[in-house]
Amino acid sequence: MIAGNSVVHIPAPVWYSKGMADDESTPKRRGRPPTGVTPKRNIRIGDTWTQGETLAKQLGITMTAYVEEALRRENARIERAERRTRD
């Protein structure tokens, strides 16, 4: 950036990932910056999702809570099955 006749250096954001043309004296950073906000996940399910929304509403819980509980139960079921085959 040029201000009048002098050049003003604007430092890169903390999350900036340095490349080959940049000064290599600082370590390369990876990933997205911590914002405190969980990123949204996008999935395409269709009728199964609609049925889940209906059931979550009937139970009086959010769709997030419904999906988390369903995933917890499925993960536990798979882990139990894997333990049975190992033993």
How many C-alpha atoms does 42 have within 13 Å on its Cβ side? Answer: 0
Question: Greater confidence, 26 or 53?
Answer: 53
Report, as an integer, the average pLDDT of 29-56: 82
1 neighbors 7 (Cβ within 8 angstroms): yes
Q: Which H/E stretch holds residue 3?
A: strand 2-3
How high does pLDDT run on average in the chain?
78
Question: Would the pLDDT of 70 be above 50?
Answer: yes
3-state secondary structure of 2: strand
68 neighbors 59 (Cβ within 8 angstroms): no
Q: What is the pLDDT of residue 61?
A: 95
3-state secondary structure of 22: coil
Q: What is the pLDDT of residue 74?
A: 96
66 neighbors 52 (Cβ within 8 angstroms): yes
Question: Greater confidence, 76 or 35?
Answer: 76
Global pTM reads 0.51
